[in-house]
Structure 1
Amino acid sequence: MLRRIALALTASAALLGALPLAAQAHSQPAPSGPVPPPIGVPGLGAGPGLGGAQDRLTVTVRDAGAGDGTYELRCRPGGGDHRDVVGACARLAELAAEGRDPFAPVPRDAMCTMQYGGDATARVEGSWRGRAVDASFARTDGCRIAKWDQLVPVLPSTGS
């Protein structure tokens, strides 16, 4: 009897020890497909590989404070009226180099903290790395706050 209890406790402890790892696996959104590697100077050089295709994004931000508005961001080569073209393009190139898709939605089965990061919303439309982009962002829970924060300076820092 004691042996069964000891085995049950050992199995329970092993299972509980694995839970934080499982939760971490869902804390970062998984890429929805392969992301091409960066080309040339991070975010700015056109370089070979995508036929010189330019990244062209329209970023619309609401209720974020000083960053509100609609901006055009072009990368490879950099341009547009975004407040930080160089920083935003470099961040997108960095995410691509890490194999991360910054525009993928938060997975439905993600375990997100129940916290509220403010009323800020954003929409990004256009093309990035040769594919269409139509992504929405908000700060309504921990997963969405992290997703927003990973895109600063493409999206404005909200200070929270």
Structure 2
Amino acid sequence: MLRRLALTAVASFAALSAATPAANAATGPLPLPLPLPLSVLHGDESDTRLTVSVLGTGDPAAEGVFELECGPAGGNHPAAQQACDRLEELASEGADPFAPVPGDAMCTQQSGGPATARVTGTWQGRHVDTSFDRANGCGISRWNGLRPVLPNVR
């Protein structure tokens, strides 16, 4: 909703800026719009609702489907507050924890086990639908970088 408000404000400003110069000369320049908070433009913690599905960890407590909501932390995720804190930390660093491994990445050929996870929903107001595995060094690193959203797997 906040994103829609921001877009409406930007569109309104653009429409008003396109007014003819004669109209501006008669009434004077238009006032500048108030700056929008960054959370409106980039989303914030309260725009985070994720479903985390985990399989193949070998730990029954770590497997299943977990709901995670942030701002305030909630859902049935076993470490909701810590997971929300980690996601907020990554956002403040400008990192995208849900970005796939680049196709040209050189990954060590080590296996981290059969664990897989899928994360869907919304993070910082942005749609998320991505999968994780531990099939090589890049996958292991990507998984470990998102702990405790994803469980600790050895």
Does residue 62 (structure 1) correspond to residue 55 (structure 2)? The answer is yes
SS in 2 for 1:91: helix
1:145 matched to which residue of 2? 140
1:49 matched to which residue of 2? 39
1:11 matched to which residue of 2? none
1:54 CA displacement: 2.4
1:124 CA displacement: 0.2
Q: Which amino acid aligns with 1:49?
A: S
Identity of aligned residues (%): 55
CA contact (8 A) 1:54 1:77 kept: no
- Long gaps (5+) in structure 1: 1-46
1:118 CA displacement: 0.2
1:108 to 99, 103, 106: 103
1:71 matched to which residue of 2? 66
Quote the Cα distance in structure 2 between the aligned partners of 1:48 and 1:88.
22
1:111 CA displacement: 0.5
Aligned residue pairs total 113
SS in 1 for 2:51: strand
1:125 matched to which residue of 2? 120
Quote the Cα distance in structure 2 between the aligned partners of 1:105 and 1:137.
9
Q: Which amino acid aligns with 2:53?
A: T
Q: Which amino acid aligns with 1:114?
A: Q
Quote the Cα distance in structure 1 between the aligned partners of 2:86 and 2:78.
14
1:80 matched to which residue of 2? 75
The alignment yields a C-alpha RMSD, in angstroms, of 1.6
CA contact (8 A) 1:60 1:70 kept: yes
CA contact (8 A) 1:126 1:132 kept: yes
